[in-house]
Amino acid sequence: MRFRGKAGWALLVCFLMVLSVMAGCGGKSKDTIKLGFLGATTGSVANYGIPGQKGMKMAIEEVNKNGGVLGKQLEGIYLDNKGDSSEIALITDKYINRDKVVALVGDPCTGLTKIAAKIAQGNKVVIFSAGATGTGVVEIGDYVFRNTLLDMFAVPSVVDWMINTKDWKNIAVITSLNNDYSVSLTPVFKDAIDKQGGKIVIEESINDEETDFTAQITNIKKAKPDVLVFTGYYREAALLMNEAKKQGLDISLIGGDGLYGQDLANLGGKAVEEKVIFYCGFSFSGDESNPVTEKFLADYKAKYNEEPDMFSAQYYDAVMILAKAMEDANSADPSVFKDELAKLKDYPGVSGNTTFRADREPIKSPICLITVKDGKLTLLDKIPLNIE
């Protein structure tokens, strides 16, 4: 069943919330404590969900090996939402009312998280996003949490670095109009650019899944910007830079953690090498001093024969933080352990320290700037997080 348009999505969410309340809220399992995975393992954002699922599974295995939570084993339930709005709504409802999960871990995408969060909040089940960076997430309700570097905190520092360190003052801004993440991030960048004395010389738009950006790059080239700001995902960023290289436009592209994915390097090739730069809350750069991080890195490599990324680390931390909150509350009831979760201060996770403010928004520092070098995502710099 497909629902199209804003009215369709709203109707679907309302229908599922009513159905969910009638069926009863998520609660305790007799034998295990269940957590539901939210993420895509196929489709255009699978590069976020696949490593996230691996991190979640690894955390659950470690918790269970060390005795579980409150004398019970954690059980993860894993369904693929395909990055689709209707799929995540249906999966969230199933997790809550059929599987009786006490918490949802994910989704890493802001728009999808909001859909799931409305259903979770209506049923008094905790949702803990390991990646949603946009606005209007935790405002949905007191059962909604997230663990990532937020755009509203990161972007002003990144723009300061662009303008005052790199001297990139004339800026082209590109938005993907059918991408909620991009549409939400663009005004955050524009506001920071305006406040810090930068000049937007041109604005262009694309749509996700398009492949021909000849017209946009032609227009941008005429405007002669110092840098591109693209607020979408890695696939389109790679294609934009391929077109820029084709047209002889030698320029860097700045973006958020929507650019995080090895496919950025795979699709972009030489066009993105040391030219695309994006921010995120953590990087496995080889200079970690945190023994928890070092152990996670070694264990993840041993288990999966690959490097972890931001999403695997944040899903891992989300499970560990949820387990801690349940233990501290001496309860697996979401209405009880959510209050302990909200008190989190200076938690030393594998993705860095996390503190929740009074509004449940996470503070993570420093900001990592990532680029592509020799075909791999590589730490370029770390800059401070300046919060007014």
- The domain spans of the chain are 5-149+289-356, 151-280+368-383
Per-residue pLDDT 10s for the chain (388 aa) are 333 454 555 555 555 554 444 444 444 446 899 999 999 999 988 989 999 999 999 999 999 999 999 999 999 999 999 999 999 999 999 999 999 999 999 999 999 999 999 999 999 999 999 999 888 999 999 999 999 999 999 999 999 999 999 999 999 999 999 998 999 999 999 999 999 999 999 999 999 999 999 999 999 999 999 999 999 999 999 999 999 999 999 999 999 999 988 899 999 999 999 999 999 987 776 555 568 888 899 999 999 999 898 899 999 999 999 999 999 999 999 999 999 999 999 998 998 889 999 999 999 878 999 999 999 999 999 898 877 6
What is the CATH class of 5-149+289-356?
alpha beta
| Residue type at 357 in one-letter notation | R
In this structure, what token pair is assigned to residue 300? Answer: 């993840």
In this structure, what token pair is assigned to residue 124? Answer: 């008094």
At which residue do the structure tokens 């509350």 appear?
329
How far, in Å, CA of 196 to CA of 25, rounded?
A: 47
How far, in Å, CA of 242 to CA of 83, rounded?
A: 25
In this structure, what token pair is assigned to residue 157? Answer: 């520092």
Beta-carbon contacts of residue 215 (< 8 Å; ≥ 6 apart)? none
In this structure, what token pair is assigned to residue 161? Answer: 């670095």
Beta-carbon contacts of residue 320 (< 8 Å; ≥ 6 apart)? 59, 63, 349
Strands (E), 58-120: 73-78, 103-105
Q: Is beta strand 367-373 parallel, antiparallel or unpaired with respect to 376-383?
A: antiparallel
Q: Hey, do 5-149+289-356 and 151-280+368-383 end up sharing a CATH topology, with the first three levels equal?
A: yes
What is the CATH class of 151-280+368-383?
alpha beta
Query: pTM here?
Result: 0.79
